[in-house]
Amino acid sequence: MQKVALSLAMLFFLPSVAINSHAAQTAPVTTNTTQQPLQQPQQSAIGSPVYIQIFKEERVLELYSKSGNDYRLVQSYPICKFSGGLGPKKTEGDFKSPEGFYQVDLRQLKPDSRYYRAINVGFPNEYDRAQGYSGRYLMIHGECVSIGCYAMTNKSIDEIYTYVEKALRNGQQKVDIAIYPFRMTEQNMKRHSRSVDYKFWSQLQPGYAFFNLTHQPPAVSVANGQYVINNKTIPASPPASHYAFAQAK
């Protein structure tokens, strides 16, 4: 009886998995190493620096706010729609939603968008331009309609937009947005190891791992057309299973 009870308890506490309609049939491994969200976005956190992570396969946008020295999860928002499945956007008109590391300032906020409210993620960035990728006006916006953007409910984009705008107006120069194809665990990387985009995703993985380890947004640069993740603030004795980080010169 004890073994049966233990088995039922383990099943009950397994994390739920959101499966993207564009994803492979195999369910993604979604080990969550981040904090539990606050019950509701807290007024005291509005105006603090923020950080955003997007996961395509899980169809989730995570909003973080700085609390003390760490960034804490404010809320996870379901993504209504995105376009083109997994993999980076390469060409204007390919209807793909971008992947990579982006930054937003006040000039990229659009409070009167035809899709309610919008945040331009800044595609193409330096990496995209180095690859010759093209496109423009790639947004996080409302109205649940996407032709290359990340579409949210109006209620969700209201909260996300407010946090981003208040942080920028309160002194944060740019808000970092990390857009991943999936939660970049070792298991998920192995599951996608035969993808044509695997080498590109291997450049993104250290950024995901860095944030999970330190609760700090990674410092990202582009060198020789490749993403480089700085690891100067990584703890001296990380867990044995930590990912390899590129040391910026």
Please indicate, yes or no, if residue 120 is contained in any of the structural domains: yes
Domain for residue 29, yes or no?
A: no
* Average pLDDT score over residue span 94-109: 97
pLDDT at 70 over 60: yes
Over 80: is that where the pLDDT of 17 sits?
A: no
- Find, among 111, 110, 54, the residue nearest to 81 by Cα: 54
Phi, psi at 113, each rounded to 5°: -65, 150
Tokens of 173: 């120069």
Whether 154 is in a domain gets the answer yes
Which one of the listed residues 80, 141, 144, 242 is annotated catalytic? 141
pLDDT at 31 over 70: no
Q: How confident is the model at residue 30 (pLDDT cuts 50, 70, 90)?
A: very low
In the block, tokens 């499945």 appear at 85
Mean pLDDT of 153-160: 97
Question: Is 144 considered catalytic here?
Answer: no
Q: CA–CA separation, 169 vs 186, rounded Å? A: 38
Q: Write down the pTM of the prediction.
A: 0.79
Catalytic residue, candidates 149, 192, 215, 242: 149
- Inside any domain, residue 102: yes
Task: Please give the DSSP secondary-structure letter assigned to residue 122.
Answer: -
Q: DSSP of 58-93, one letter per residue?
A: TTEEEEEEEETTEEEEEEEEE--B-SS-SS---STT
Instruction: Judge whether 96 lies within some domain.
Output: yes
Residue 236: predicted pLDDT: 40
Q: What pLDDT band is residue 146 in, cutting at 50, 70 and 90?
A: confident
The residue segments making up the domain with residue 125 are: 50-229
- Whether residue 171 is contained in a domain is answered as yes
| 215 in active site | no
- Compute the Cα dihedral for 156, 60, 133, 83 and give only its sign: negative
17 lies in some domain: no
Q: How many domains does the chain have?
A: 1
| Residues in contact with 238: Cβ distance below 8 Å, sequence separation at least 6, in sequence order | 213
Indicate if the pLDDT at residue 235 is higher than 70: no
Is the residue at 131 inside a domain? yes
Q: Is the pLDDT of residue 6 over 90?
A: no
Q: Are 83 and 71 in contact (CB under 8 A)?
A: no
